[in-house]
Amino acid sequence: MTLRERDRNSVWHPYTQVQTADPPIAIVRGEGARVFDESGKTYIDAVSSWWVNIHGHCNPRIAAAIAEQAARLEHVIFAGFTHIGAVELAERLLAILPGNLSKIFYSDDGSTAVEVAVKMALQYWHNRRESKTSIIAFENAYHGDTFGAMSVSGDSAFTAPFAPLLFPVVRIPAPFHGRERESIAAMEKALESGNAAAFLFEPLVMGTAGMLMYEPEPLDTLIAMCRAKGVPTIADEVFTGFGRTGKYFACDYIEHKPDIICLSKGITGGFMPFGATACSEEIFGAFLSDDKMKTFFHGHSYTANPLACAAALASLDILQRSDCMERIRYINARHNATAERLRAFPSVKEARVTGTILAVELHTQGGTSYFSAVRDAAYRFFLGKGIIMRPLGNIIYFLPPYCITELEMTAVEEAMEEWVRRTKTRVLEK
Ligand code: PMP
């Protein structure tokens, strides 16, 4: 039996309609921006393995750091105990995170980093004996798949089966170009009730919604409005953190800094499942008391896992102490040039770039749905070219590990151009 057949017999994959999906490709090895399957075929990872990998597969510095840590201490309960990696990582994150944040709370992934943030904000008010229970969030946002994270995400096919069980959220439009005033007016209204416990947002890029991008200025205004009313703000930097948008964090582009920041994905360079939620002294202070009921009763078995901390520290070293930011600027320049070129094709509705993210939205008859047939055709087309690309409906995007080579970038760009050209033909044919 091949690995694929054995997989089919025993494994249930995420976001996959198993009955109709192609069988999964068995990957046996990774190196740089590439992974290799069991037959030796090479794939360029144009999506950084679900947006987590920033320094390349099997980056030797991160691999060595994990191996070294594994030989010393693999894990220890994090209530009542600590370890050097957790402390050092918190110190280093706080040193580079935007604003004046003062504590790091560890968890397991992006969804739990968001759950922690939302619970922190809600209990902040509860501990102060003030009744504020509503969360303000953007329409069409995506913050994860656990129940709290689903609640604060926009309504979608992902959340539909659970809709009656999700807590209500005040949704406002994100401040996309031309909709800034609408977004600000909606925020004004949302703040009127006086019941807002927090405002949660994906800064500058809404990834799952389709790599939708907006400018820093209107976000600054929204945060300032919340600050004026004493409403804590939460930046979900799970996707945008660690250089993805061209700076260490997307919130580095704005003047008013959030009170809470959620991190995951790139935090370990893509090696380990890990999440972190940073908060201000003001938030943290509301949990300090002689009253045990004000404790933050939240934690996971693997909280602050030492292997993940070791990976994160090594990943930070690479981000801060190598030519990484230069690579990021190079990718950004290439993306801008590619976007310019692709905009000339009639099938391209919009080509947009933020940092290392290039998104190309096509005019297609398949519509914009996540489930559009265009999406499946594009996915197979790129796979056929040895490129891992997971379109979001009619939006193809390219966000590579920062170590991708110039030749690998060219291969992906050429394939994107070919797909864009073909799409035009298809629209005309129909
Ligand atoms: N927030 C954002 C902005 C995300 O993009 C994601 C994942 N795509 C999550 C939260 C959830 O992270 P995870 O899949 O690690 O739970």
Report the chain (430 residues): mean pLDDT per 10 consecutive residues.
89 94 94 96 98 98 98 98 98 97 98 98 98 97 98 96 97 98 98 97 98 98 98 98 98 98 98 98 98 98 98 98 94 98 96 98 71 85 97 96 98 97 62
Q: Which residues contact 28 (CB under 8 A, 6 or more apart)?
A: 36, 37, 38
Note the pLDDT of residue 429.
43
Whether ligand 1 lies within 6 angstroms of the CB of 270 is answered as no
Give me ligand 1 centre to Cα 239, in Å: 7
Whether ligand 1 lies within 6 angstroms of the CB of 143 is answered as yes
Give me ligand 1 centre to Cα 84, in Å: 27
Note the pLDDT of residue 426.
53
**136 with 200: CB under 8 angstroms?**
yes
Q: Is there a catalytic annotation at residue 142?
A: yes
Note the pLDDT of residue 430.
39
Give the pair of three-digit tokens for residue 19: 């009955």
Closest residue by CA, ligand 1 atom 15: 110
Burial of 350 (0-12, 13-18, 19+ CB in 10 A): middle
Catalytic residue among 15, 22, 189, 229: 15
Ligand 1 pocket test target in 150, 239, 249, 357 with most atoms within 8 Å of CB? 239
Instruction: State pLDDT tens for residues 12-54.
Output: 999 999 999 999 999 999 999 999 999 999 999 999 999 999 9
Q: Is there a catalytic annotation at residue 155?
A: no
**What is the amino acid identity at position 77?**
I
Whether ligand 1 lies within 6 angstroms of the CB of 208 is answered as yes
Q: Distance between the two ends of the chain, CA-based, in angstroms?
A: 42
Instruction: State pLDDT tens for residues 398-417.
Output: 999 999 999 999 999 999 99
CATH of domain 73-319: 3.40.640.10
Q: Is there a catalytic annotation at residue 265?
A: yes
Note the pLDDT of residue 367.
53
Q: Where are the domains of the chain?
A: 3-58+322-427, 73-319
Give me ligand 1 centre to Cα 332, in Å: 23
d(CA 33, CA 51): 12
Q: Which CATH class for the 3-58+322-427 domain?
A: alpha beta
**268 with 62: CB under 8 angstroms?**
yes
d(CA 150, CA 28): 33
Note the pLDDT of residue 2.
84
Ligand 1 pocket test target in 52, 142, 261 with most atoms within 8 Å of CB? 142
What is the sign, positive or negative, of the torsion defined by CA atoms of 182, 188, 193, 196?
positive
User: For all residues of the chain together, what is the average pLDDT?
Assistant: 95
Note the pLDDT of residue 368.
56
Q: Is there a catalytic annotation at residue 43?
A: no
- Residues of 270-282 as b/e, b for ≥16 C-beta within 10 angstroms? bbbbbbbbbbbee
Atom of ligand 1 minimally distant from the CA of 237: 3
